[in-house]
Structure 1
Amino acid sequence: MIDAVEQLEETPGRALVESGALVAGTMARTAAGLLFDPGSSRVRLHDGLAAWLRRTATDADVEAPSPVSARARCRAGAALAFATELSVTRAAQGRTVRTDGFLTPGPGGRAPADEIGEAVVLAARGTAEEWRVRHLGYLLAEAAVAADLDAAVVARGLRLAGSLTGRQLVLLAAVGRRERIPLPIAPVPQDPRGWTTWAALEDLGELQRGGLLDPPPPTPRPGGSALPRLRPADLRLTRRGVLVHRLLALEFVRDEAVTEALADLA
């Protein structure tokens, strides 16, 4: 009996998800049990969704490039644990798993979702900002219930997110919750002296120029007239911004992080 338990715990894929405890805490072990020993929990995942996450975890564990640091490995496992966690929440919210073939393996045994799973594992391994790992995992859970987003659109959203700084993601989160937590109405500085505020304004400007936030940066007027002052309260998510916000479930970014990012703009 003990040998059977030890063998179960050492199953490739399960071992990877459990290793995510360094980033995801004890939830990683619960998620591993839900994926690889579903009979041990009262909670159940959709069969196709669970099979996809198991397949992603197993492939990432068995076919991991060498060498992979222990910390990078645990980030990959944590991303899959967070995906499992949000999948349970989405099911409780009544969000149904898509049935359009996204999760269904085709020729070669590979589903469209498998490309996304592999890309998320790679992104999780490679990030030094480990708070991002939660949201990378959340992308998998959201993609599984977002029937209006095909694999190419999901991949685009992941690439967009990967090109952004951590503070830029938090600023998107701030604008996305503007109805719940009003944004400041004081104009942002035009010529800040401190480096922190300068860098925060650079992040904001890149979001505007990149088409993730409206309004875009103002164009200098003929005659050198004064440009309008931007207030955080004026900001809105564009369609590109909505895609990143939705896929990474940025509504779960901590309020403290949002407060800090907005303070950097002051």
Structure 2
Amino acid sequence: MTAAEETSTGRALVEAGAPVAGSMSAAAATVVFEPAAARVQVHDGFAAVLRRAAADAAGMPEGREQVRTGAALAFAVEHAVTVHRAGRAVRGDGYLDDRPGNRPAADELTEAVLLAARTSTDERRVRHLGYLLAEVAVSPDIDAGLVGRALRLAGALSWRQLALLAAVGRRDRVPLPMIPLDDDPRGWTAWGAREDVAELQRTGLLDPPPAQPRPGGAALPRLRIADLRLTRRGVLVHRLLVLEVLREDAVTAALADLGLPRS
């Protein structure tokens, strides 16, 4: 395939993400494949990573997997523009560079993220997987092993659990409800949401961990959402998926599933 053909097919892949990423897909494709015509810019090296990834994935059959792949790349451009405007420099530790006998770490990570996006039937997650690509590119304190860990942790979480992590992560600017949670709610939706919270505690993403039975069968203190804090693991997932900007309506819905009002 010639360079022109790679550009054409790669650009078409990014634009194919429109059903998930909207009209922004076309603008993102211009940023990556025709930067001189774009109104905004991203780092040349990061754009090159996205071009290679798009060209490599361009041969996939049409369908929702193709849509999600293109959308993830478009969202990566969106967040890259945001961090560029904020003055956050692309890391200079060799992350984007070829390695002896191997391709750049950025290319390997991009392939892993696009695989996760491609197989994500809940397409709301695709935005934040794309954001992860741009966030890692400006985070020299995060190595490839940590990114892999974050992807594994996030891959096991439901959308509601991501929304709950987002709620706890923004607690300093949006107060959380002080109402105690029912430990065994009768409704199935509330029961499932309560299980989501408990699982986040058990897997070490939220503190405090689940309360343990007391000697003599004494009553356990009832947990409040306001009592929860992100653990180090939770901070990693929250930061790399950029859950700080997860939609407010998703957070509100997650709290409502628990039977709690938004403060």
Identify whether the pair has TM-score above 0.5, normalized to the shorter chain. yes
Contact 2:6 2:55 in 1 (8 A): no
Structure 1 equivalent of residue 30 of structure 2: 33
SS of alignment partner, residue 193 of structure 2: helix
Shift of 1:8: 7.3
Structure 2 counterpart of 1:207, one-letter code: L
Partner residue of 1:257 out of 237, 241, 250: 250
Describe how 1:1-266 pairs up with structure 2 within 5 A.
11-62=8-59, 64=60, 68-108=61-101, 110-266=103-259
Superimposed CA distance per residue, residues 101-129 of structure 1 (whole angstroms, 9 cap, x where no aligned partner): 11112235611111210111111111111
SS of alignment partner, residue 192 of structure 2: helix
Shift of 1:40: 0.5
CA distance in 2, matches of 1:33, 1:50: 11
Structure 1 counterpart of 2:80, one-letter code: S
Identity of aligned residues (%): 63
SS of alignment partner, residue 114 of structure 2: helix
CA distance in 2, matches of 1:104, 1:129: 33
CA distance in 2, matches of 1:249, 1:165: 16
Report the count of equivalent residues. 256
Shift of 1:15: 1.0
Superimposed CA distance per residue, residues 63-110 of structure 1 (whole angstroms, 9 cap, x where no aligned partner): x4xxx4511101000000000010000011111100101111223561
Shift of 1:248: 0.5
CA distance in 2, matches of 1:174, 1:14: 36
CA distance in 2, matches of 1:228, 1:33: 55
CA distance in 1, matches of 2:9, 2:104: 20
Shift of 1:12: 2.2
Structure 1 counterpart of 2:225, one-letter code: P
TM-score normalised by the chain length of structure 2: 0.94
CA distance in 2, matches of 1:230, 1:109: 49
Structure 1 counterpart of 2:213, one-letter code: P
Gaps of 5+ in 2: none
Contact 1:9 1:15 in 2 (8 A): no
Superimposed CA distance per residue, residues 35-54 of structure 1 (whole angstroms, 9 cap, x where no aligned partner): 00111123221111111111
Structure 1 counterpart of 2:19, one-letter code: L
SS of alignment partner, residue 13 of structure 1: helix
CA distance in 1, matches of 2:199, 2:62: 32
Gaps of 5+ in 1: 1-6
Contact 1:102 1:151 in 2 (8 A): no
Shift of 1:165: 0.9
Structure 1 counterpart of 2:120, one-letter code: T
- Misfit runs of 4+, over 4 Å: 7-10
